[in-house]
Amino acid sequence: MTEAVTFLPKKWEQMPRQKFEEVLSDNCLLVSAFQDSILQIKEYLSDTYLFLLTNVEGILLDLDFSQNIESIVNHSPIRAGMYFTEQSCGVNAISEAMKHEAPIYLPPEEHECLAFKDWHCFSVPLKIDNKTIGYLDVSTINSGMNRELVAITKLLPAQMLISYQEYVNEQESELFFQSLTERQLKVLQLISKGYTVKAIAIKLKIKECTVNHHKKIIFEKLGVQSSTEAVSIAARHSIL
């Protein structure tokens, strides 16, 4: 049996408040996806749970937990903005997931820090297109993981990433919409209906060279090279 260690950091690393606000802003879509996903599953959880979300550097962005461990969490050093790196709080599930870039289960006796001596933790990297955007940790305190929580650890990361991608698409749609002028949107709408340059010019009572200029700007803003691509992206982001 592994002998319990008694590592206790002299100082938990905490990001300065102003800097943390910037990090939080940069990861706002990930935090929203985390909160939405947790909200959807809470009613199905009947036992102790603790969910932690960090960014790629292991900085705690947000957390959620069952009411029966509220006192434990509130009296622990865990606060948004703290680092879950090995340097900050010893070996833990998140630091191991960061190290190995893979899902990690860590029982209480394998945590170095005394504050985690009763924690059963499962941490997983959150990846989009093979790029890590953060880490999710599902834990219990003073009790092992029951079957429903084990199932959650398998389903929650996928649900979070779906929600995150939806937020990203929505944000991109807003940016696309804001970047196009009213006239450019009208030209794009007519292109989507199959209008030729000449037909668009007649419809909008402008010169054909003006239509071509609008098309050029639209292509540049959407990062495409053809009308077909422009219409496809616009439709995907519900611009049309």
Residues making up the chain, counted from first to last: 240
Within 8 A by CB and 6+ apart from 187, the residues are 200, 204, 211, 214, 215, 218
Query: For position 6, what pLDDT does the model report?
Result: 46
17-172 has which CATH code? 3.30.450.40
Can you tell me the distance from the alpha carbon of 65 to that of 226, in angstroms, rounded to the nearest whole number?
50
Query: For position 5, what pLDDT does the model report?
Result: 45
CATH class in words for 180-236: mainly alpha
pLDDT digit of tens for each residue in the chain (240 aa)?
344 444 455 468 899 999 999 999 999 999 999 999 999 988 888 888 999 999 999 999 999 999 999 999 998 889 999 999 999 999 999 999 999 999 999 999 999 988 898 999 999 999 998 999 999 999 998 877 877 788 888 889 999 999 999 998 888 777 777 778 999 999 999 999 999 999 999 999 999 999 999 999 999 888 889 999 999 888 877 666
Query: For position 239, what pLDDT does the model report?
Result: 67
pTM assigned to the model: 0.74
Instruction: Find out whether 132 and 126 touch, Cβ atoms under 8 Å.
Output: yes
Instruction: Find out whether 78 and 121 touch, Cβ atoms under 8 Å.
Output: no
Query: For position 1, what pLDDT does the model report?
Result: 38
Radius of gyration of the chain (CA): 24
Q: Which segments within 47-143 are labelled E, that is strand?
A: 50-54, 60-65, 104-106, 119-128, 131-141
- Domain chopping of the chain, boundaries: 17-172, 180-236
